[in-house]
Amino acid sequence: MAITEERPPLELTSGDLPPVEVETLGVFHRPRSTHGWASWFTTVDHKKIGIMYGFASFFFLLVGGFEALLIRTQLAVPGNKLLSADLYNQVFTMHGVTMVFLVVMPLAAAFANYLLPLQIGARDVAFPRMNALSLWVWLFGAIFFNTSWFLGGGADGGWFNYAPNSGVVFSPSHGIDFYAVGLIIMGIGSTVSAVNLTVTVLNMRAPGMTLMRMPVFTWMTFIVQVLLVFALPVITVALLLLTLDRMFGATFFDASAGGDPFLWEHLFWIFGHPEVYIMILPSFGIASEVLPTFSRKPIFGYPFMVGSGIAIGFMGWGVWAHHMFASGMGPISVLAFSLATMFIAVPTGVKILNWMATMYGGRLRFTTAMLFSIGLVAMFTIGGLSGVTHAFAPMDTQQTDTYYIVAHFHYVLFGGALFGLFSGIYFWWPKIFGFFLNEKLGKWHFWLMILGFNLTFGPMHILGLQGMMRRTYTYTEGQGFNGWNLVATFGAYLLAVSILVFIWNVIRSYRAHRRNPVNPGPDPWDARSLEWMIQSPPPEHNFDEVPVVEDFDEFWHRKYGHDEQGRPVRIAATEDVVQKGDATGVHLPSPSYWPIVLAAGLPLIGYGVIFNLWWALPGVILMVAGIYGWVLEPSTDPSAGHGHDDDHHHDGDDSDAAALDEPADAGTADGDGEGVDADGSETAAEPEPAMATASAEAQDGGSK
């Protein structure tokens, strides 16, 4: 069972240089600072990286939201001339791509980066520098993609960009070039991040944290990373072929030269359908954390929650062609994919029922986070039901490319994914920043958003069934579309107002916090998982001592026991259970500027591929320099005063392959048989002062 590495690494001593002497490539000294604005560019701290993911993707949410408002304004009245047909094509394409790849995915990645190590009791991810790399690659790719607006116009083929519209004949501008190359770049970032987080979940868990004790959010994020690992290469192939078609004269998707436009559709949707679950599962995970906390009940049917997540992940690979029912692929294929699609509704339904069962009989607290999670359950159910109607091929043929489809996927991706992400923002904000968001404004935000959302996308069901086609820049008087379109546009502006309320909430709450800092304490919601066991905001090293986990909802079980009726009874004060955040002698990976250098090379190569290959040369040089600088630099700066980093260490109860299938025995929590019993009463023996009044600054200082 215990597979600790007892053998020291084989070191090949060679040459005359003693191993401690390190020369690194570069003209700058290695960055040391972990404070100040400059430290954000060199940080390898998963928490800072998560925050940067969050802010960057929120910025793109505003960009994509602005594009959405343009669309809705154009469609408010028939025959509108605000946008030309060409500009309209660009705006809806950029809106779609932005919302999928620049908002929902990275916002989920923000939570994944921030919370995953905390929830499994780790000090950082498995490869901290690669984590920074994936952030910068994604961010530079996203900026690269959006610069197309200033270099000849955005992509105009729709987010799924079917051939032949994606060919140079029908789209002569550089927009789709930016789409192809930009998504390849972002895909590289996501692949690196997905491999990193997969390894983190498998390898970096605290002692006793078996797979079946991981919080549901961690589980869902883990499934998402696995899906990303396997789905991204497929879209990379498609985008590579598209790039070769558009810029190097190949004819992969050109039917007049024997190419097959179907190939694009298949490759795109083999990626695209897992992508749908990549976007929604993190929000499912967030709701599965929020609902139990504010119901004061454990999640109902934890194994079924995990199992249904895995089932969704598996089955998501077998349903892609339901996006192509109208493409004429033959009755047997349609039948097979239609059946598979109907089946995938089952695990999703399991989740919905489990959430409701979690709330049933619970002591509910309707905080903003809770409201958003309930909103997710309700809105996603509507979107799921309209999704099942697409599984029936005859009905789907009728609905394809109408606003009914638009309504459906906004109900699952906005009403589902984005509501869940907002729920997570309200839930973890005090943990991440050390102050609460205003609950009153938060509730305004929620009610405005859910009202605006339903006003915008609800009518689209009707419009679609009446035959209004999506991706058409206008409609005429007398088609009967006027009324509902006006309502939808009104709803869209209401959504914009709700986002403004959110921004105002952040500003106001921050100002109030600056005037009168009140720390929410480590556990403001009386929550259940490990991240609430440390201070808010968490110290840089996360855990003073790596917790030994003995239960699902470990932190809850440290606070509460059960009476005879099974009701929770407090057995320990929160202040006694939480960690103080004052550990010393914890060595963390040192900051590094190589990730951002390496990442900066990629967009340069991208411009080179699009405009002139020679321009790619500086990008290649930058990347090669970045890679060699990276390799030659040890992950921990030896001259920073520490001999080694033990950002993660534990021994014993290591679940090897066998433990993946069954929860490991908690009794073996310490393989070396030391420490457990002696430390058993440690928390009780050392009561700590209540943390609720300690200021954020004090804790920050304590972590050094």
Partner 1 sequence: MSATIDVDDDSPVHPGEHHDHGPSDGTYWKVFWALVFITALEVSTYFWDVWFGESSWTFAVPLLLLLMVVKFVLIASVFMHLRFDSKLLTRIFYFGLATACIVYLAALSVMNIFTDNGNPWFNDPPPAVTPSAVVTGEMPAGGMGG
Partner 2 sequence: MTDVALEPMDDVEFPDDVHATSTGISNPKLAMWTYLASDCLLFGGLISTYLLYRNRPGNIPGLSGSDLRASELFNIPFTSMTSFILLMSSLTMVLAVNSAIRSDAERMRLWLVATSVLGAMFLGGQIYEFTEFVREGLGFTSNVSASSFFTLTGLHGAHVAVGVLMLLSATVYSMRRTLNAEAVETLGLYWHFVDIVWVVIFAIVYLIP
CA distances from 488 to 12, 398, 454, 484, 670 (A): 68, 22, 9, 6, 59
Residue 3 found at the interface with partner 1 (CB under 8 A): yes
CB burial of residue 258 (10 Å; 0-12, 13-18, 19+): exposed
Nearest of 270, 260, 278 to residue 321 by alpha carbon: 270
Q: Taking contact as CB under 8 A, which single stretch among the options 49-57, 257-265, 322-330, 396-404 is the one that binds partner 2? A: 257-265
- Restricting to residues 1-60, name those near partner 2 by CB under 8 A: 3-5, 8-15, 17, 19
Residue 29, sorted as left (phi over 0), alpha (psi -120 to 50) or beta, turns out to be beta
- Restricting to residues 608-667, name those near partner 1 by CB under 8 A: 656-658, 660
Among 151, 240, 395, 625, binds partner 2 (CB under 8 A): 240
Of residues 162 and 560, the one with the C-beta less far from partner 1: 162
Report in angstroms how near the CB of residue 205 gets to partner 1 at its nearest: 14
- Exposure on the CB side of residue 658, measured as CA atoms within 13 A: 7
- Restricting to residues 182-241, name those near partner 1 by CB under 8 A: 202, 229-230, 234
Cα 185–chain centre separation: 17
Among 1, 346, 500, 617, binds partner 1 (CB under 8 A): 1
Question: What string marks each residue from 637 to 676 as x (binds partner 2 by CB under 8 A) or -?
Answer: -------xxx-xxxx--xxxx-----------xx----xx
DSSP letters of 254-272? -GGGT--HHHHHHHHHHHH
- Restricting to residues 262-301, name those near partner 2 by CB under 8 A: 263, 267
Strand partners for 569: 561
330: which residues sit within 8 A by CB, 6+ positions away? none
CB atoms < 10 A from the CB of 618, how many? 15
Of residues 86 and 260, the one with the C-beta less far from partner 1: 260
Phi/psi at 560 (5° precision) = -125, 140
Question: What string marks each residue from 157 to 196 as x (binds partner 2 by CB under 8 A) or -?
Answer: ----------------------------------x---xx
CB atoms < 10 A from the CB of 84, how many? 11
Of residues 90 and 131, the one with the C-beta less far from partner 2: 131
Report in angstroms how near the CB of residue 221 gets to partner 1 at its nearest: 17
Question: What string marks each residue from 572 to 601 as x (binds partner 2 by CB under 8 A) or -?
Answer: x----x-----x-xx---------------
Question: Do residues 355 and 374 make contact, with C-beta atoms less than 8 angstroms apart?
Answer: no
Among 91, 163, 204, 220, binds partner 2 (CB under 8 A): 204
Cα 266–chain centre separation: 25
Residue 223 found at the interface with partner 2 (CB under 8 A): no
Of residues 574 and 655, the one with the C-beta less far from partner 1: 655
Q: Taking contact as CB under 8 A, which single stretch among the options 135-143, 217-225, 333-341, 375-383 is the one that binds partner 1? A: 333-341
What is the DSSP code (8-state) at residue 162?
-
Of residues 301 and 634, the one with the C-beta less far from partner 2: 634
DSSP letters of 398-420? HHTTBHHHHHHHHHHIIIIIIHH
Whether residue 537 has a cis bond before it, omega within 30° of 0: yes
Among 333, 398, 454, 482, binds partner 1 (CB under 8 A): 333
Q: What three-state secondary structure class fits 661?
A: coil
619 touches, from partner 1, partner 2, none (C-beta below 5 to 8 Å by class): none
- Amino acid letter, residue 266: H
Token duo for residue 449: 């958003």
Of residues 3 and 690, the one with the C-beta less far from partner 1: 3
Among 86, 260, 545, 662, binds partner 1 (CB under 8 A): 260
Report in angstroms how near the CB of residue 266 gets to partner 2 at its nearest: 9
Q: Taking contact as CB under 8 A, which single stretch among the options 30-38, 116-124, 289-297, 327-335 is the one that binds partner 1? A: 327-335
Nearest of 131, 57, 110 to residue 594 by alpha carbon: 131
Q: What three-state secondary structure class fits 568?
A: strand
Of residues 334 and 448, the one with the C-beta less far from partner 1: 334
DSSP letters of 583-644? --S---PPP-SHHHHHHHHHHHHHHHHHT-GGGHHHHHHHHHHHHHHHHHS-SS-GGGT-S-
Report in angstroms how near the CB of residue 623 gets to partner 2 at its nearest: 12
Report in angstroms how near the CB of residue 309 gets to partner 1 at its nearest: 16
Nearest of 135, 145, 141, 55 to residue 96 by alpha carbon: 145
Strand partners for 469: 402
Among 29, 33, 66, 260, binds partner 2 (CB under 8 A): 260
Q: Taking contact as CB under 8 A, which single stretch among the options 293-301, 308-316, 459-467, 681-689 is the one that binds partner 2? A: 681-689
Of residues 658 and 678, the one with the C-beta less far from partner 1: 658
Q: What is the crossing angle of helices 216-248 and 594-610, to 10°?
A: 30
Among 151, 244, 326, 336, binds partner 1 (CB under 8 A): 336
Question: What string marks each residue from 271 to 310 as x (binds partner 1 by CB under 8 A) or -?
Answer: ----------------------------------------
Spatial separation of the C-alpha atoms in residues 35 and 45, rounded to whole Å: 12
631 touches, from partner 2, partner 1, none (C-beta below 5 to 8 Å by class): partner 2
Q: Please give the residue ranges that form the binding site for partner 1 (CB under 8 A).
A: 1-3, 6-7, 202, 229-230, 234, 260, 262-263, 266-267, 270, 317-318, 320-321, 329-337, 656-658, 660
